[in-house]
Amino acid sequence: MAKNPAPNLFAAAGLDADAPRPLADKLRPQKLSEVVGQDHLLGPDGVLTRMLETRSLGSLIFWGPPGTGKTTVARLLAQATDLHFEQISAIFTGVADLKRVFEEARRRREMGQGTLLFVDEVHRFNRAQQDSFLPVMEDGTIVLIGATTENPSFELNAALLSRARVLVFKSLGADAVEQLLKRAEQIEGKPLPLDGNARLMLAGMADGDGRASLTLAEEVWRAARPGEIFDGVKLQEIVQRRAPLYDKSQDGHYNLISALHKSVRGSDPDAALYYLCRMLDAGEPPLYIARRVVRMAIEDIGLADPQAMIIANAAKETYDFLGSPEGELAIAQAVIYCATAPKSNAGYVAYNTAMEVAKRGGSLLPPKHILNAPTGLMKDEGYGRGYAYDHDQEEAFSGQSYFPEALPRQQFYNPVERGFEREIRKRLDYWAKLRKERGGA
């Protein structure tokens, strides 16, 4: 009697078993040396290279944007260390699943086989679930590698972080994306039908994501007719994706916010408006810019124009109230106001200098004459004795010293001769004269 043929699972699911594999799958690295864009981890002096040389692979957290090789590197590390590779996703895994994974890892360990457990989106586990990893990490049941796109400092428990080292994966730069495209051309046996500018645009569209760059390349090959070469405009039509004006999480983002800040500091409202509009046009969240304008008002204008911080903060509140596009005009006006305001970083410098002295000085007790004395014992110790209430003194100024006795009088704040700080300087100079006349320190 003939046996029943094995069921065709692909056909049952409506899938073609012989369908071509996606390009990103074909190009998945088979060894660590093939991973691009992470030389700081996998280069000759990279952190992971050194770990593998000493066979001292411990639990790790891979932090970085999508498409940078976190899953691939974890899989290849398991191969390089002869560990069983187990992969789960925090999105689809519950407590019962974790218990099963841990039990299987314990059985493997009893048979002499270690387990590298790769947890994708590890930040999505709640606090109790994260804590469940601690015992199996400590007793060596698993080597944990968690992957996250979120800042581990904010998303992962301190206990888990204390048992794992955080390694940062970088977005792929243009050179790394170009390496992937060249490998794709070798695999496909034909050049990518793009001119030089379009090729650079494709790398920008990928936004540092290697998987995205290969998916875009597939779209281009599928769309191109024989002999056709796409320019930048045609590329955007084909893939229906606008090339980002800058990467919001990397160099372009920081370059433009730096340019905006320095233009405001340099009192150039026109340049400041240009960079503001560049960022808004690229899709930068307006509230991020508004917060930075508040910082500019504090750091670079300070008390030379106390209204600057009020106006900058009001622009942020206005955007919160009105939203886009009306609220962006308030931010623009705050930028103009700050750029044209008198500048002073005296308050910023004073704060930083005072912080340094405070850290060096330790826990110095304030002078006893300005300490309250709520108990008899404290009065006997001299607390509050000799304090001069300034409102009762001539010109409401006693000239007493308020610094600790062990710390000579300091001058942290040195206002400039610009804007409102010119008036503040006059007051400070006058009080210094009175202090000297009255024998104050």
Is the confidence at residue 236, as pLDDT, over 60?
A: yes
Cβ-Cβ contacts under 8 Å for 1 (sequence gap 6 or more): none
Alpha carbon 364 to its chain centroid, in Å, reads: 37
Q: What is the mean pLDDT of residues 252-263?
A: 85
pLDDT at site 250 = 52
What is d(CA 53, CA 55) in angstroms, rounded to the nearest whole number?
Answer: 6
Name the residue among 206, 225, 228, 227 with its Cα closest to residue 217.
206
The overall pTM is greater than 0.75 = no
Q: What is the mean pLDDT of residues 252-274?
A: 89
Q: In what helix (H) or strand (E) does residue 136 lie, and over which residues does it extend?
A: helix 133-138
Q: What is the mean pLDDT of residues 407-436?
A: 91
Average pLDDT over all residues of the chain: 87
What is d(CA 265, CA 342) in angstroms, rounded to the nearest whole number?
Answer: 10
Q: In what helix (H) or strand (E) does residue 219 lie, and over which residues does it extend?
A: helix 210-223
> What's the pLDDT tens digit per position in 97-136?
899 999 999 999 999 899 999 999 999 898 888 999 999 9
> What's the pLDDT tens digit per position in 46-73?
989 988 888 778 899 999 888 899 999 9
pLDDT at site 1 = 42
Exposed / middle / buried, residue 218 (Cβ in 10 Å: 0-12, 13-18, 19+): middle
Alpha carbon 52 to its chain centroid, in Å, reads: 28
Cβ-Cβ contacts under 8 Å for 289 (sequence gap 6 or more): 257, 260, 276, 279, 280, 331
Q: What is the mean pLDDT of residues 163-184?
A: 90
Q: What residue spans define the domains of the chain?
A: 38-168, 174-239, 251-340, 365-437
Contact between residue 115 and residue 84 where contact means Cβ atoms under 8 Å apart: yes
pLDDT at site 19 = 59
251-340 CATH: 1.20.272.10
The pLDDT-based confidence of 214 (bands split at 50, 70, 90) is: very high
Question: Class for domain 38-168, per CATH?
Answer: alpha beta
365-437 maps to CATH 3.40.1620: no
Contact between residue 319 and residue 288 where contact means Cβ atoms under 8 Å apart: no
Is the confidence at residue 298, as pLDDT, over 60?
A: yes
Instruction: Locate all alpha helices (DSSP H) within 282-392, ordered by sequence.
Output: 286-296, 307-322, 326-340, 346-361, 376-380
